[in-house]
Amino acid sequence: METVNGRRRFLQGLGATLAAGMLPARAAEATGRDVVVIGAGSAGLAAAGSLVAAGLDVLVLEARNRIGGRAHTDTQSVGVAWDRGCSWLHSSAANPLVGVARAADFEVFEDRYPRAVYDGARRLAEAEVAPLTELSARISREIAAAGERGLDVAAELALSQATRADPWFAMAASASTAWEGVEFSNYSALDQHRYVAQGPDFLIRQGYGALLSQQGRELPLRLSTPVSRVRWQAAGATVDTPAGSLRTRAVVVAVPAPIVAQGALVFSPGLSAEVLQAHHDLPLGLMNKVALRFKRSVFPAERTEFLRLRRNDQRGMSYMTRLWDSNVCIGMSAGALAQELEGAGEAAAIDHALGELTRMLGEGVRKHFDRGTATAWASDPWSRGAYSHCVPGRFGARQLLGAPVAGRIVFAGEHTQQQAYGTCHGAWLSGLRAAGQVRALLGR
Ligand SMILES: Cc1cc2nc3c(=O)[nH]c(=O)nc-3n(C[C@H](O)[C@H](O)[C@H](O)COP(=O)(O)OP(=O)(O)OC[C@H]3O[C@@H](n4cnc5c(N)ncnc54)[C@H](O)[C@@H]3O)c2cc1C
């Protein structure tokens, strides 16, 4: 059913510049497209942009009423633009979105903000935190050593007794959990070893989500159009949505792995057991954020810093203070803590963050608190988590999903990119790879 509202959403998604050149939806359905891209996150947008540039007839179908997926800049809730999803441009030396951002006049810069640790209300001197820095480096070395040996085991098993017994272990473990979204026992040491970091992390002032939205503005896409099924045959495929079915010659499936693993998007005939299993092997761990707005600055420095409270458990969060010189602070939780806080609700997540900040910075934190909000990525039906990790023993799943299926279906998404998995630029790179594969399949 192509409703007036549906059309309005379609036009909003396209932006005025495209509206002049677009095909009426009905005509397109009759003739079929060269390519349907499912999902307007980083991967889907990169794939679609590349295919459109190559002259193919492309349509992006997006379940949400916005584009960007896990890249989402919120400009409303606390009065300052902040990223509910990704915010760092990792691996700046190999991250194509750095150039994309600069070309679009977005401000990108290296994250050189200071990091500080508090022991209760006492700010630790650099020398006191040095053992934590050394322990984090040792953990990386131990996991890398297991990876070097090709050990596809839980990262936990790569860690020495001395490392686990270190008094700073809980703090160092929290930082690792933030990277993978799950604790050491849940992800493959080999998979982490195959991630390649290249260059320092950058930040983007206007927001990573805002950049993705801008990139998608001129692409042919339909919002609020979830695809429930892909029916594929030798000669092409048909995708089913609540608004009807569309014929296409090829499909780029750029949705998070759990969407396929959990049957929110099904294939007919079904995917091979191997391909379906690979989606199960790349579940999404969790990171959530809280944005806290204060009536006045409650922070120790005028400039932005990252603060953490020393704890002996893994219930600590990391706080970015004075976001873009405002009185807004962004707190980040990951893994089991993030799961627990998301389950307990927004108020509980905010309270946990205010509690930690109060222990570090004093009662002024609660006194001057204005308002806050929290993300809930695990219960978001279109993401079902934050970013993928590889289940121990299942290394190879990412590569498997990087190959076309049945000559018609190509998977994209951060989970399909080995060297930059879990990241927005990894998703982007996977989209470019998928576009190349589709062109080869279609001989274009
Ligand atoms: C809190 C958080 C912090 C993060 N921090 C960073 C960071 O600092 N740096 C970094 O590089 N990465 C970070 N990431 C990870 C990064 O955001 C993701 O890896 C990346 O955005 C994933 O892009 P994608 O295209 O693979 O998937 P997505 O962005 O999830 O896009 C998939 C799209 O498919 C749509 N979709 C799903 N199902 C259907 C369907 N059935 N039909 C149609 N559409 C569908 C979704 O709505 C979505 O728009 C973070 C993520 C989170 C959640």
CA end-to-end span of the chain, whole Å?
A: 32
CB atoms under 10 Å from CB of 109, counted, come to 11
Whether residue 289 has its Cβ less than 6 Å from ligand 1: yes
HSE (CB half, 13 Å, CA atoms) of 284? 30
**In the chain, where are the structural domains located?**
4-69+208-283+383-442, 124-193
Distances in Å between the Cα of 243 and the Cα atoms of 7, 28, 240 are: 11, 13, 8
Q: Are 305 and 321 in contact (CB under 8 A)?
A: yes
Mutating to test ligand 1, I would choose from 36, 86, 267 the residue with most ligand atoms within 8 A of its C-beta, which is 86
Residue 21's pLDDT is what? Answer: 29
Give pLDDT tens digits for 97-123.
999 999 999 999 999 999 999 999 999
Q: What is the pLDDT of residues 245-254, one digit of tens each?
A: 999 999 999 9
Q: Is the beta carbon of 374 within 6 A of some atom in ligand 1?
A: no
- The pLDDT, as a whole number, for residue 31 is 61
Tell me, what's the pLDDT at 19?
30
Task: List the beta bridge partners of residue 239.
Answer: 230, 246
Separation between Cα atoms, residue 421 and residue 434, nearest integer Å: 15
Residue with tokens 């998703």: 427
What is the predicted pLDDT for the residue at 28? 42
* Prediction pTM value: 0.94
Instruction: Pick out the chain residues at pLDDT < 70.
Output: 1-31
Does the beta carbon of 43 lie inside 6 Å of ligand 1?
A: yes
Residue 235: per-residue pLDDT:
85
Which ligand 1 atom lies nearest to the CA of residue 64? 47
Query: Is the preceding omega at residue 404 within 30 degrees of 0, hence cis?
Result: no
- What is the secondary structure of 264-301 as a DSSP string? SSEEESPPPHHHHHHHHTS-EE-EEEEEEEESS--SS-
Residue length of the chain: 444
Ligand 1, residues 92, 387, 433: which to mutate, most atoms within 8 A of Cβ? 387
Q: Is 254 in the pocket of ligand 1 (CB under 6 A)?
A: yes
> Which tokens hold the place of 306?
């990252």
Distance 90 CA to ligand 1 centre (A): 15
Domain 4-69+208-283+383-442 indexed as CATH 3.50.50.60: yes
Query: Burial of 200 by CB count in 10 Å (0-12 exposed, 13-18 middle, 19+ buried)?
Result: middle
| Closest Cα to atom 13 of ligand 1 | 86
Of 98, 211, 306, 424, the residue with max ligand 1 atoms within 8 A of its CB, to mutate for a pocket test, comes to 424
Cα of 149 vs centre of ligand 1, distance in Å, is 32
Beta carbons of 138 and 175 less than 8 angstroms apart: no
pLDDT at 29: 59
**Residues 427 and 412: beta-carbon distance below 8 Å:** yes
